[in-house]
């Protein structure tokens, strides 16, 4: 018997030979979710341009980093109800929100990132998202490959069986979730390689700050996503700061400032500040990975943080915690002893070393017992 494609249940028939389905894994407050997307309505090649710019952009068919996107997300169950209502009213048309031109979209909608929702965005209403912020990873990932006035259908199902997937949103009770996403219009944006160093740095700071807010609210997956986005952008700035570090001249920082704007908030930091921020991001990422029970990744992130900043006490502590979770007691001890060099009275390091000594004593005793049995 042939396998039934999951989108056949979404449409109610099985005539879908050659269905082009794209799949990926998205990050949500409730964990990792698999997304399957199928385009259902092809849109227009919207031309977007910056007002007042004589050298306006050529046609830009899909949203890019920083684009303000007007989107609408609807659950399939709610759409079915709306369609049945239309038929009962003899095909009376449902009210449609008037079109809004791209130039009228000025800012992203403000709504909280919820712990009990996968889709995040207000359902059924037109919402403005800024691409790249990670407010709703599922929607952003769909929109970045769409054109104006296109629609797609998505199926969303949890990856794994962790505790984060056990609390469904009232509108998201049935899994997998079936929904549609529409992209009405969008403003210009830029790919990372088209952005000035100053603009990239602004995105890095924004992601770092957003990661902290998310972590404090309990959205550990979202925090890790924000720190990851910041680190990816920092990689593209590496060549600027490597050159600055080689010359070792602070005046070189002036040459690396954003010359396209007089706004001082877009100025780049020094090479030392760059290394410090990068180290803090890896250390924060390590903390998230510890919370998510990913000790190997947490150890790798903490190692990168300590390589960049030998005096980073938090990174050494997280390195020790990760090694403890991996039962690498010798390496854990080395990390905590390094922490004690930086903070001689650290109660956390002293307690951790005491626990390690106890575990090593217990392990040695068990090993001795096994050896005695072997040679008795």
Q: What is the pLDDT of residue 242?
A: 72
CA dihedral 129, 119, 133, 304 (to 10 degrees): -170
Q: Which residues of 106-140 are buried (b: 16+ CB within 10 A; e: fewer)?
A: eeebeeebbeebbbbbebeebbbbbbbbbbbbbbb
Nearest to 150 by CA among 184, 121, 110: 184
Domains and CATH numbers, the chain: 6-46+62-189 (3.10.50.40), 197-373 (1.25.40.10)
Q: What is the pLDDT of residue 292?
A: 96
CA dihedral 186, 192, 198, 201 (to 10 degrees): 100
Helices 238-247 and 220-236: angle between axes, nearest 10 degrees: 60
The per-residue pLDDT string of the chain (376 residues; one tens digit each, 9 = 90 and over) reads 444 344 444 444 444 445 578 999 998 887 889 999 999 888 776 655 444 343 333 346 899 999 999 999 999 876 555 444 434 443 443 333 444 444 455 788 888 888 888 888 999 999 999 999 999 999 999 999 999 999 999 999 998 754 444 444 444 556 788 999 999 999 999 988 889 889 999 999 999 999 999 999 999 999 999 999 999 999 888 877 777 666 665 554 555 554 444 554 457 888 888 999 999 999 999 999 999 999 999 999 999 999 999 999 999 999 999 999 999 999 999 999 999 999 998 999 999 999 999 988 888 777 767 766 666 6
Nearest to 297 by CA among 233, 235, 227: 227
Instruction: Tell me how far apart the alpha carbons of residues 182 and 352 are, in angstroms, rounded to a whole number.
Output: 52
Q: What is the pLDDT of residue 244?
A: 65
Q: How many other CB atoms sit within 10 Å of the CB of residue 219?
A: 23
Q: What is the pLDDT of residue 147?
A: 93
Sheet holding 150-158, edge to edge: 21-28, 31-41, 150-158, 177-186, 68-75, 126-130
DSSP state of 154: E
Q: What is the pLDDT of residue 19?
A: 59
Q: What is the pLDDT of residue 58?
A: 37
Nearest to 224 by CA among 203, 201, 204, 207: 207
Q: What is the pLDDT of residue 83?
A: 45
Residue-wise DSSP of 97-140: PPP--GGG--S-------TT-SS-SPTTSEEEEETTS-SSHHHH
Instruction: Tell me how far apart the alpha carbons of residues 220 and 212 are, in angstroms, rounded to a whole number.
Output: 10
Nearest to 338 by CA among 290, 303, 291, 375: 303
Residue with tokens 């403890």: 324
Nearest to 179 by CA among 146, 153, 197, 213: 153
Q: Are the CB atoms for 319 and 342 separated by under 8 Å? A: no
Token pair recorded at residue 206: 């924004």
Q: What is the pLDDT of residue 373?
A: 67
pTM, two decimal places = 0.78
Nearest to 65 by CA among 237, 248, 195, 202: 195
Token pair recorded at residue 88: 């009962």
Q: What is the pLDDT of residue 111?
A: 84
Q: Decide: helix, strand or coil at residue 94.
A: coil
CA atoms within 13 A on the CB side of 294: 14
Q: What is the pLDDT of residue 78?
A: 60
């Amino acid at each position: 018997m042939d396998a039934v494609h999951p989108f056949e249940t979404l449409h109610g028939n099985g005539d879908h030979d050659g269905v082009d389905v794209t799949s990926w894994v998205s990050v949500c407050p409730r964990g990792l979710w698999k997304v399957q997307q199928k385009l259902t309505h092809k849109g227009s090649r919207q031309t977007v341009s910056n007002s007042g710019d004589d050298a306006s952009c050529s046609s830009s068919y899909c949203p890019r980093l920083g684009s303000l996107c007007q989107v609408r997300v609807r659950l399939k169950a709610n759409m079915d109800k709306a369609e049945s209502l239309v038929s009962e009213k003899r095909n009376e048309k449902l009210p449609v929100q008037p079109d809004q031109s791209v130039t009228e979209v000025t800012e992203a909608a403000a709504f909280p990132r919820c712990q009990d929702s996968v889709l995040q965005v207000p359902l059924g209403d037109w919402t403005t998202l800024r691409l790249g912020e990670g407010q709703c990873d599922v929607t952003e990932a769909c929109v970045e490959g769409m054109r104006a006035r296109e629609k797609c259908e998505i199926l969303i199902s949890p990856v794994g069986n962790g505790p984060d997937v056990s609390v469904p949103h009232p509108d998201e009770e049935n899994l997998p979730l079936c929904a549609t996403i529409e992209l009405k219009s969008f403003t210009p944006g830029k790919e990372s390689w088209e952005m000035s160093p100053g603009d990239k740095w602004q995105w890095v700071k924004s992601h770092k700050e957003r990661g902290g807010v998310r972590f404090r609210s309990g959205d550990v997956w979202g925090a890790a996503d924000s720190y990851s986005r910041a680190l990816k952008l920092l990689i593209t700035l590496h060549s600027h700061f490597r050159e600055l570090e080689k010359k070792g001249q602070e005046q070189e920082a002036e040459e690396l400032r954003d010359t396209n704007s007089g706004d001082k908030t877009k100025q780049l930091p020094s090479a030392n500040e760059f290394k410090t921020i990068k180290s803090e991001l890896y250390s924060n990422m390590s903390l998230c990975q510890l919370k998510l029970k990913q000790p190997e990744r947490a150890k790798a992130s903490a190692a990168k943080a300590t390589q960049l900043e030998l005096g980073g006490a938090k990174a050494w502590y997280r390195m020790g915690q990760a090694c403890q979770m991996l039962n690498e007691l010798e390496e854990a001890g080395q990390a905590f002893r390094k922490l004690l060099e930086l903070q001689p009275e650290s109660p956390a390091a002293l307690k951790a070393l005491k626990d390690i000594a106890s575990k090593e004593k217990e392990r040695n005793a068990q090993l001795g017992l096994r050896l005695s049995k072997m040679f008795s």
